[in-house]
Amino acid sequence: MTAEELQSLIASGLACDHLEVSGDGRHWSAVIVSSQFEGKRLIQRHQRVYATLGARMQTDEVHALSMKTLTPAEWANEPK
């Protein structure tokens, strides 16, 4: 899987205001900004992303995914 494919999978299941994916084909890192995270705890945000990946997480197609999940307001306050 490529970073572009993983990014497309996440974006197809979650409306993202901003989405960055990087990694080595096995271990991934993502910054995901979505209004769908409003009012959600961190674990709920991560579960939402995992739900977009479905079986790919269980079949080891996506072995590891480190996420920074933010609302648009949180993203606006992040140092860039």
Note the pTM of the prediction, 2 decimals: 0.92
Place of tokens 């606006």: 76
> Where are the chain's structural domains?
3-76
- Under CATH, which number does the domain 3-76 receive? 3.30.300.90
Q: How far apart are CA 80 and CA 53, in angstroms?
A: 27
- pLDDT tens digits along 56-79: 888 878 888 999 999 999 999 988
For residues 8, 57, 76, 20, the Cα torsion angle rounded to the nearest 10 degrees is: -40
The C-alpha R_g of the chain, in whole angstroms, comes to 12
- pLDDT tens digits along 16-56: 999 999 998 888 999 999 999 999 999 999 999 999 998 88
Place of tokens 């197609």: 61
